[in-house]
Amino acid sequence: MTDTAKPINFIQQIISADIESGKTHKVVTRFPPEPNGYLHIGHAKSICLNFGLAELFNGDCHLRFDDTNPEKEDTEYVQAIIEDVRWLGFLWQGEIRYASDYFDQFYQWACDLIDHQKAYVCELNAQQMREYRGTLTEAGKDSPYRNRPAAESRALLEQMKAGSIAEGAMTLRAKIDMASANINMRDPVLYRIKRMAHHRTGDQWNIYPAYDFAHGQEDAIEGVTHSICTLEFTANRPLYNWFIENLAVPTTPQQYEFGRLNLNYTITSKRKLKQLVDEGHVDAWDDPRMPTLSGLRRRGVSASAVRNFCDSLAVAKTDGVVDMAQFEHFIRDDLNNNARRAMCVLKPLLVTLTNYEQDKVEQFAAAAHPQRDDLGERSIAFRQQLYIDRNDFSEDTGLSRKKFKRLVIGDYVRLRSAYIIRADQVVRDSVGEIQEIKASIVPNTVGADAPEGIRARGVIHWVSALDAVDCTINLYDRLFAEAQPDSGDKNFLEHLNPASLKVIQGCKAEASLDNAEVGEHYQFEREGYFCRDGKVSVRLAFNCTIGLRDNWKG
């Protein structure tokens, strides 16, 4: 560790002390997701922490899949997780690792536990096992199979492995302490029969190790020095240590727990997120309203915004709830600094400039970013007809300039990077709806002050009617209208925000946006931050990442 890298949280302090004492020579951490769903914003904190610790202490971080449950795992999830970690900008040491890489070793260790009278094959069914386990206040009682001879348990385990025993008929359990105050130590299950194919090992196995049995041994095999996990695993730590102490593992990792990231106005249960997808409340795991990393990416949130947000969070020994506004602050800050500027009219209203030649066209230069000269300029075509937003026009001449800084009949407004214009006349259709505004330019006002006696109310955005490209805009809001949608006994589905998605078709964007790259970030002036979506059926669509201001305040 460099002299300038001072420990700032308790895990850094522990690692620093381990290095100074000689207990640890090279720091090895790991990010060990289960491939049973997509990663979400809560996982991002763990990713940043584990990879960040390895980087801070010049160590290694492994990417490892804890794929011990074929019932819920899929290669789709594996690939999505790999893509998410890469998107965040992290590189793992060596090849990607899997729990399934070690299935043979796990089985041998299970046999060793049997041989040392520390494991046995149990024939209690799931209901009986719950009854025997006891409660938080009452000790459990021994299984009638607890003292089964080792040779018999070995033979039965072989039959379980060979597929000769029906699913659910037997389990392999550790023999620890049925009276332990920690329920996790009351003879936990090591192996269950699952007669199903695994995404990597196929039909090779009919039994699969429990997560608790596999996890610590994976760490030991890989030489992980500091096994970092969230607080819900605190009660599992004695079991983690028991396996390390009672098996001939090559190294002795240590487990440490920190508070997980809980964000209000969202949920981070993979089971509940999967329910949202399966029941069609969202269109997929990467729906831009989802808190998944793929959803955030599709919405236009940048990896740097996610990392900056995670780096701002405390690494503590307590759980807490972070306000969504804190995350949104980092999203806005990043996009304000890096998103290119462009103009897009969401509710087009035609304006015809009566004192501008019909065939004339001018090209006006506009900065791609007001503070980023390195991003250069873009060229905007200006012609006789253009579109402004309907919300930027009013017939009410009594509106004060302070209250309405837009176009009013008989008054002036400046078009961004172009002329000052005056609204002269309203054209209506047969039912009285405004169809067009007749207006006139004030000559010599491009990049120049208005002549004496003329004062523009404000500045509005616009696009050339002939050059504009049609697009669809997806306006997103928070998926839930309730801050804690799944707390207590709440049904989170009852708190879905009905206004979380609004699709606006027939929008008009400046011509440069026709060549926007998928995922490229833009600030649509006076509207918000957007990125091009590559997954929709229409040719050109933009997702609203976030508004220019927080509309949830107060």
Residues tagged active-site: 34, 260, 270
Q: Which region, left, alpha or beta, applies to residue 164 given φ > 0 means left and ψ of -120 to 50 means alpha?
A: alpha
Q: Taking each helix axis from N to C terminus, what angle separates 303-312 and 41-56, rounded to the nearest 10 degrees?
A: 80
Measured between alpha carbons, how far is residue 57 from residues 97, 224, 259, 321, 422 in Å? 22, 14, 21, 29, 64
Q: Which region, left, alpha or beta, applies to residue 488 given φ > 0 means left and ψ of -120 to 50 means alpha?
A: left
- 441: closest CA among 451, 431, 433? 451
Q: How far apart are the C-alpha atoms of 86 and 322, rounded to whole Å?
A: 25
DSSP class of 213: H
Q: How far apart are the C-alpha atoms of 233 and 456, rounded to whole Å?
A: 63
Residue 88, SS3 per DSSP: coil
Tokens 């799944």 found at: 486
HEC assignment per residue over 414-448:
EECCCCEEEEEEEEECCCCCEEEEEEEEECCCCCC
Q: How far apart are the C-alpha atoms of 46 and 40, rounded to whole Å?
A: 11
Residue 56, SS3 per DSSP: helix
Sign of CA pseudo-dihedral 120, 121, 127, 128: negative
Tokens 């046999």 found at: 111
Tokens 């933009």 found at: 542
Read out DSSP for 164-194? Answer: -S-TTS-EEEE-S-TT-SSGGGSS-EEEEE-
Q: How far apart are the C-alpha atoms of 462 and 190, rounded to whole Å?
A: 66
* b/e map 188-222, b = 16+ CB within 10 Å: bbbbbbbeeebbbeeeebbbbbbebbbbbbbbbbb
Measured between alpha carbons, how far is residue 356 from residues 287, 362, 384, 441 in Å? 45, 11, 6, 7
Cα–Cα–Cα angle for 236, 69, 180, rounded to 5 degrees: 25
Tokens 């049973």 found at: 36
Cα–Cα–Cα angle for 449, 454, 455, rounded to 5 degrees: 75
Please report, in angstroms and rounded to a whole number, the separation of the first and last CA atoms in the chain.
Answer: 44
